[in-house]
């Protein structure tokens, strides 16, 4: 209580400082006057009376100072004082301040942008209520270990009934709705959800209501819950939509409500009740319903996993045939939302940006250090006048903090720009991209980084300087003796900078080469002048296999009839989009003693190989006669032929995918291998089926053009819509764009890392330049003497260059060793180049040495121009 009053009074005193000052002054003058009057009346002369009175009062300045101290907050005030002094000092050295602040702004801006992106992507909870408690329950089959599947309908129902770890279990199946009517037909992702789906996310519709139990039995016909985006886009945000009937895919739905604006899950545009088919309700091996669960508040993911394991063990016991080679995997929603690529990319970027920040700090440390050497006498003077070591240390630290915070504010602006640029430039596959924005936390991170940088940058020089020997420093020129010591710290910082920069350089050089090699990969087919699009057939309108076959046939004919399309190819899968269909193939079926192996399987149209320029090595491709009812045929790839038909002619041989007679195909052709999943893939054995014998409900359309393929978009749409005017075409793009998109992630990462490396290199250049020119200044006398004694300017040049080169070589040596260890972390992100590639390492080291020579050359030239007389006279 008393302390609080005292604080309050001090605060009030602070506000009336001038009044207090005047009161004290008048009071002391009054005292003096009374004292003097008394002396006068005791018989002294007026002059002597005053002098004596003043003597008795003592050191008035000190008393006034002391009084002031008791009024205020002395520590705070001296900090304010130091800060003001620091600002003044910086103002007097604008060149130094600009370089230091820009360096820090660069380091702080880049690192706080990357750190906050990392925070937003990897650490911040997903935007759902209680999101840490939300998990996926994936089905994993031993047969396809790399795929995450859902659960079967009865398994999910059992899980909901039995699992005690979960308070809510919901599952869904995703599909597409075709939106027709005004404008072009559009395809919208939709999820058929079980009854607890919205409850799991604690979401209430913004308009209308969720699904009622009746809706799951279709008592009131089909119902739909519109997503906010779809409602805005397609229904002009009409709030009278609730209760009305809308038609999708020729099927009427009653709108029960609209989802809130801030709810999104997996880009779904609308929800419908999940009404399973009769066989889905009982079929246990049908693992196609993606399952979500909300754990009870005190349950950990580990406990939930343990329960899922025992749940699955129970199922395996009850249904050994269907359930024994599967297991369930509980994965928090956040972990699933961020893909592994994003995590490794962010890790790479965080590493790179930390290096950049460290280089920046080393540089600023060096700058402060060389300045503090110039200020040695000033500091020694302060110490001589009674400033304590702590006070000087504090003063120097405050100066570097002032520098760092100014850099931090500039860095914050840079970070804000950087984050915006990141959102625009980063590949769309980057997880949670839309959630990245400039936030207060960025400012906080920037300031924290700035303070840390300030302390790191300031501490070493401050400790060094405050230890300075008073006597030596005060004597003109004697600072020379302590120079070697201080110089070694500066050299150490430069060496550290060089080695960090080398690591950055090597990393970016590896990524650049990897990207270049990836772009030069031979895909095995012609990718230029190719327009591609995706067609998803509506399951209601093309329900039967015959309907699908007929549709594919008509599309193919409509496209082939267009003279501007120089080639037409259909396939059930798009090319170079990281997707493929894989089938498990047992070589024993054709008499080869090998384990079952995955094959890349594709259903393609007649003319596929010709349109894509895939060399036909033997036999024929598919023709119009390879339809339903004609003999089942396949075309195999060269590597499949070599591996499973060794030393024999594969044409005419039988290829079997099962024991059933319908699973036997005749090999009619052999084609060259292609890379059509993604550029960096290994070659895999491939098998092609005729699309008209094996129709899927989706297909990829490719047409070859004479001119820019994008000029044919309209024509392609018209041809498709001439067959079915309500058929949406999605992913319309040229193949070269598709390829560019498929390497968007590595390209973006490479670009960023190269920018960091370039910045690191520039900072290192400045660092070396700074140290060498400082040392040339300090050695002016020595160099002058050398010149006077007959040294050639070449000798002096060599002497100085050797010094710069010496630091660079040491740094590069350490950097090479460090890179050898560090680049292993990049191994998974590299294509066609080893992380320890000696040429890359040597090249990066050479580049750094060249930079070091350039940075030393300018001060070295200056050294040779040193006039020996001036240097000697300065003595």
The 55-94 contact track toward other proteins, x by CB under 8 A, reads -xxxxx-xxx-xx-xxx-----------------------
**Residue 25 Cβ vs other proteins, minimum distance, rounded to whole Å:** 10
Shortest CB 37 distance to other proteins, Å: 8
The CB density around residue 431, as the number of other CB atoms within 10 Å, is: 19
Decide: is 35 part of the binding site for other proteins (CB under 8 A).
yes
Q: How far apart are CA 875 and CA 863, in angstroms?
A: 17
Using CA of residue 96, residue 97, residue 102, residue 105, what is the dihedral sign?
positive
Q: Which among 346, 314, 312 is positioned nearest to 327, based on CA atoms? A: 312
**Least distance to other proteins from the beta carbon of 56, Å?**
5
Q: Which is nearer to other proteins, 27 or 546 (CB)?
A: 27
Using the minimum distance from each CB to other proteins, give the nearer residue, 26 or 267.
26
**Closest CB 63 distance from other proteins, rounded Å:** 4
Residue closer to other proteins, measured from CB, 11 or 480: 11
Tokens representing residue 39 in the block: 């002396």
Closest approach, Cβ 351 to other proteins, in A, equals: 54
Stretch that binds other proteins, among 24-32, 351-359, 546-554, 707-715 (CB under 8 A): 24-32
Which contacts qualify for 869-874: CB closer than 8 Å, 24 or more apart? Answer: 869/784, 869/788, 870/784, 871/780, 871/781, 871/783, 871/784, 871/785, 872/781, 872/784, 872/785, 872/788, 874/780, 874/781
**Residue 19 in contact with other proteins, rule: CB under 8 A:** no
User: Which one among 17, 19, 22, 31 touches other proteins, defined by CB under 8 A?
Assistant: 31
Strands 223-226 and 251-258: parallel
Of 4, 5, 476, 794, the residue at the interface with other proteins (CB under 8 A) is 5
Q: How many residues bind other proteins (CB under 8 A)?
A: 30
Of 602, 554, 611, 553, which Cα lies nearest the Cα of 574? 602
Phi, psi of 137 (to 5 degrees): -115, 100
147 binds other proteins (CB under 8 A): no
DSSP 632: P
Cβ 466 to other proteins shortest distance, Å = 24
Q: What is the largest CA-CA distance in the chain?
A: 142
Among 21, 37, 167, 341, the residue binding other proteins under the rule CB under 8 A is 37
Output 25 or 828, the one with its CB closest to other proteins: 25
Q: What is the rounded distance in angstroms from the CA atom of residue 226 to the CA atom of residue 270? A: 5
Closer by beta carbon to other proteins, 7 or else 144: 7
We find the least distance from the C-beta atom of residue 387 to other proteins, in angstroms, to be: 18
CB closer to other proteins out of 18 and 520: 18
Interacting span for other proteins (CB under 8 A) from 25-33, 204-212, 591-599, 769-777: 25-33
In 353-445, the DSSP E strands lie at none
Shortest reach from residue 70's CB to other proteins, in Å: 4
Is position 17 an interface residue for other proteins (rule: CB under 8 A)? no
Q: Which of 212, 82, 810, 60 is nearest to 497 (CA)?
A: 810
In the set 19, 22, 33, 437, which binds other proteins (CB under 8 A)?
Answer: 33
Stretch of 33-41, 465-473, 621-629, 716-724 contacting other proteins, by CB under 8 A: 33-41
Structure tokens of 113?
């942008």
CA distance 870 to 875: 9
Minimum CB separation of residue 66 from other proteins in Å reads 4
Interface residue with other proteins among 2, 182, 385, 390 (CB under 8 A) is: 2
Cα–Cα dist 249/222, whole Å: 13
Q: Nearest approach, Cβ of 391 to other proteins (angstroms)? A: 21
Is residue 28 involved in binding other proteins (CB under 8 A)? yes
| 34 near other proteins (CB under 8 A) | yes
- C-alpha to C-alpha distances, 789 to 573, 775, 785, nearest whole angstrom: 81, 20, 6
| Least gap, CB of 473 to other proteins (angstroms) | 24
**One of 16, 17, 27, 300 touching other proteins (CB under 8 A):** 27
Range list of H helices, 724-792: 735-742, 744-778, 780-788
In three-state form (DSSP H/G/I as H, E/B as E, the rest C), the secondary structure along 776-819 is HHHCHHHHHHHHHCCCCHHHHHHHHHHHHHHHHHHHHHHHHHHH
**What is the token pair recorded at 309?**
């394991």
Interacting residues with other proteins (CB under 8 A): 2, 5-6, 9-10, 13, 23-24, 26-28, 30-31, 33-35, 37, 56-60, 62-64, 66-67, 69-71
């Amino acid at each position: 209580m008393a302390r609080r009053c005292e604080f309050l009074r001090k605060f009030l005193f602070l506000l009336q400082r001038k009044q207090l000052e005047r009161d004290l002054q008048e009071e002391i003058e009054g005292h003096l006057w009374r004292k003097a009057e008394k002396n006068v009346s005791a018989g002294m002369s007026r002059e002597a009376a005053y002098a004596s009175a003043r003597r008795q009062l003592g050191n008035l300045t000190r008393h006034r100072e002391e009084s002031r101290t008791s009024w205020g907050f002395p520590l705070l005030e001296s900090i304010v004082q130091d800060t003001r002094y620091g600002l003044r000092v910086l103002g007097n050295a604008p060149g130094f301040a600009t370089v230091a602040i820009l360096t820090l702004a660069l380091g702080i801006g880049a690192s706080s942008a990357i750190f906050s992106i990392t925070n937003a992507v990897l650490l911040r909870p997903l935007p759902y209520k209680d999101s840490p408690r939300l998990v996926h329950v994936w089905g994993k089959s031993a047969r396809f270990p790399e795929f995450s599947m859902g659960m079967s309908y009865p398994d999910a129902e059992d899980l909901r009934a039995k699992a005690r770890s979960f308070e809510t279990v919901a599952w869904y199946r995703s599909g597409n709705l075709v939106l027709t009517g005004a404008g072009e037909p559009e395809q919208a992702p939709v999820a058929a959800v079980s009854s607890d789906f919205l409850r799991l996310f604690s979401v209430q519709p913004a308009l209308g209501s969720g699904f009622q139990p009746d809706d799951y039995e279709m008592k009131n016909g089909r119902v739909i819950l519109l997503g906010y985006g779809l409602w805005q886009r397609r229904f002009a945000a009409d709030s009278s939509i609730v209760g009305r009937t809308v038609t999708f895919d020729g099927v009427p739905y009653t709108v029960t409500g609209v989802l809130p604006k801030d709810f999104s899950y997996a880009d779904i545009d609308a929800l419908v009740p999940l009404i399973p088919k009769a066989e889905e309700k009982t079929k246990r091996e049908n693992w196609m319903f993606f399952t979500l669960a909300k754990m009870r508040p005190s349950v950990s993911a580990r406990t939930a996993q343990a329960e899922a394991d025992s749940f699955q063990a129970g199922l395996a016991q009850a249904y050994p045939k269907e359930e024994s080679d599967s297991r369930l995997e509980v994965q928090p929603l956040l972990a699933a939302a961020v893909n592994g690529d994003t995590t490794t990319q962010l890790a790479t970027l965080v590493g790179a940006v930390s290096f950049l920040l460290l280089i920046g700090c080393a540089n600023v440390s060096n700058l402060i250090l060389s300045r503090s050497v110039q200020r040695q006498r000033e500091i020694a003077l302060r110490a001589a006048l009674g400033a304590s070591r702590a006070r000087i240390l504090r003063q120097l630290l405050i100066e570097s903090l002032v520098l760092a915070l100014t850099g931090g504010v500039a860095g914050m602006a840079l970070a804000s720009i950087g984050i915006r640029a990141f959102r625009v430039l980063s590949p769309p596959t980057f997880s949670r991209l839309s959630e990245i924005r400039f936030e207060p936390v960025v400012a906080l991170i920037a300031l924290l980084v700035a303070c840390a940088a300030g302390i790191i940058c300031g501490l070493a020089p401050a400790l060094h300087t405050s230890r300075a020997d008073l006597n030596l420093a005060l004597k003109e020129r004697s600072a020379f003796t302590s120079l070697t010591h201080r110089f070694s710290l500066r050299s150490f910082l430069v060496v550290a900078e060089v080695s960090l920069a080398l690591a950055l350089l090597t990393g970016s050089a590896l990524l650049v080469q990897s990207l270049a090699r990836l772009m030069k990969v031979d895909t095995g087919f012609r990718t230029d002048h190719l327009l591609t699009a995706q067609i998803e057939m509506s399951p209601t309108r093309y329900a039967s296999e015959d309907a699908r076959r007929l549709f594919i046939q008509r599309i193919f004919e409509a496209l082939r009839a267009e003279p501007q399309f120089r080639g037409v190819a259909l396939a059930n899968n798009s090319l170079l989009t990281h997707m493929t269909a894989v089938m498990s193939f047992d070589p024993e079926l054709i008499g080869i003693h090998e384990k079952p192996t995955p094959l890349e399987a594709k259903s393609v149209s007649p003319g596929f190989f010709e349109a894509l320029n895939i060399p036909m090595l033997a036999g024929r491709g598919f023709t119009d006669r390879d339809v339903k009812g004609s003999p089942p045929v396949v075309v195999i790839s060269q590597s499949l032929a070599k591996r499973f038909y060794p030393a024999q002619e594969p044409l005419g041989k039988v290829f079997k995918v099962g024991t059933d007679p319908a699973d036997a195909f005749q090999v009619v052709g052999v084609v060259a291998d292609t890379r059509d999943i993604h550029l960096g893939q290994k070659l895999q054995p491939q098998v092609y089926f005729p699309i008209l014998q094996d129709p899927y409900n989706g297909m990829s359309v490719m047409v070859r053009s004479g001119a820019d393929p994008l000029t044919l978009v309209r024509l392609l749409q018209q041809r498709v819509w001439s067959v079915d005017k309500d058929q949406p075409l999605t992913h319309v793009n040229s193949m070269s764009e598709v390829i560019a998109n498929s390497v968007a992630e590595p390209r973006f990462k490479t670009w960023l890392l190269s920018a960091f490396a370039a910045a690191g290199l520039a900072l290192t250049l400045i660092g070396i330049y700074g140290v060498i020119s400082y040392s040339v200044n300090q050695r002016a006398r020595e160099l002058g003497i050398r010149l006077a004694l007959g040294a050639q300017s070449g000798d002096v040049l060599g002497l100085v260059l050797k010094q710069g080169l010496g630091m660079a070589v040491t740094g590069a040596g350490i950097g090479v060793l460090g890179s050898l260890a560090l680049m292993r972390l990049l191994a998974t992100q590299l294509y066609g180049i080893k992380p320890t590639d000696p040429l890359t390492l040597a090249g990066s080291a050479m580049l750094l040495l060249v930079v070091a020579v350039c940075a030393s050359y300018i001060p070295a030239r200056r050294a040779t121009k040193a006039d020996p007389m001036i240097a000697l006279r300065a003595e």
